[in-house]
Amino acid sequence: MEQLTFKSLLTRFSFDDILPEFKALYRKIRPDLFEQTDWDIYRNVYQDLQTCKEKESKSKYTIQISERWEDLQFIGSNCYLYYEGGDDYDYRGIGGYPCLSEILDMRINLDSNVALSLEELTAGLLWEITYDKRNGLMDVDMEHLTFKYLLTRFCFDEILSDFKTLYQRNVPESFLKADWEAYRKVYQYLQLLEPSGSKYCIYLASRWEGCSPLIDMNCSIYDKNRDEICQPMATYPKWSEILGMRIIIEYDIVIRP
């Protein structure tokens, strides 16, 4: 039997072949968004995936399916990337994985008690990698999302309300003393600063509310090549590099640009 990969499924089925299964999955998990969904957005993603080239080097990860999407207990619990080698192991959500071309060629493994048609499996994998279309980032190119892009898209006044809300939630004792104009100057300085190249990415593991960046490391500098967290973003010394780093957002985070 041919080894299943996402690429082999994309080659086998057109978007219209799996659309009924995708709609059924969508209606079950996100009924609040179903009626307003533009299916052509997903069609375009699917067709782009069909022409995307797999990465030449094989990934150490396998796509593991432990239950049907309709039966999942919480987001990301049924479908994840996994590897195990001796005492070393790791698992993570597909949506937050930084290299889509690697995902296409990963071996797919289903638990023995999981019954899925190939059309349902293809629809489920499409659901996994299009999380950004349902989490407030629909109009953002996630492959090229950087801090510099966000700075050019929004002026300080447009993000000030959200910044104040976060500030009051995390540091209420100093909220009334905060100098918003000082933050405006920092923001405007960053808008003018030219980004420089870096081998690192910014990895957002959770929203900032209730987090201490230096302790919880919810927003960190991530080395994609070595697949490891290096340090909190707050302690990284080179702002110009931070501006140009690609931002990777964990699968289950709902956040607006």
156-207 pLDDT, tens digit per residue, is 998 999 899 889 888 889 989 999 999 999 999 999 999 998 889 988 877 7
Average pLDDT over residues 224-248: 87
Coil, strand, or helix at residue 57?
A: coil
State the DSSP H helix or E strand holding residue 41, giving kind and residue range, or none if neither. helix 39-51
DSSP 8-state symbol, 140: S
| Exposure on the CB side of residue 177, measured as CA atoms within 13 A | 4
Q: Which of 233, 157, 231 is nearest to 191 (CA)?
A: 157
Minimum mean pLDDT range among 16-20, 80-84, 117-121: 80-84
How confident is the model at residue 31, as a pLDDT?
86
What is the per-residue pLDDT across 203-229, written as a single tens digit (0 to 9) for each?
887 777 777 766 667 788 988 778 788
Cα distances (angstroms) measured from residue 59 to each of 77, 97, 199:
21, 12, 19
With 50 as the cut, is the pLDDT of residue 1 above it?
A: no
As to burial, measured by CB atoms within 10 angstroms (0-12 exposed, 13-18 middle, 19+ buried), residue 213 is: middle
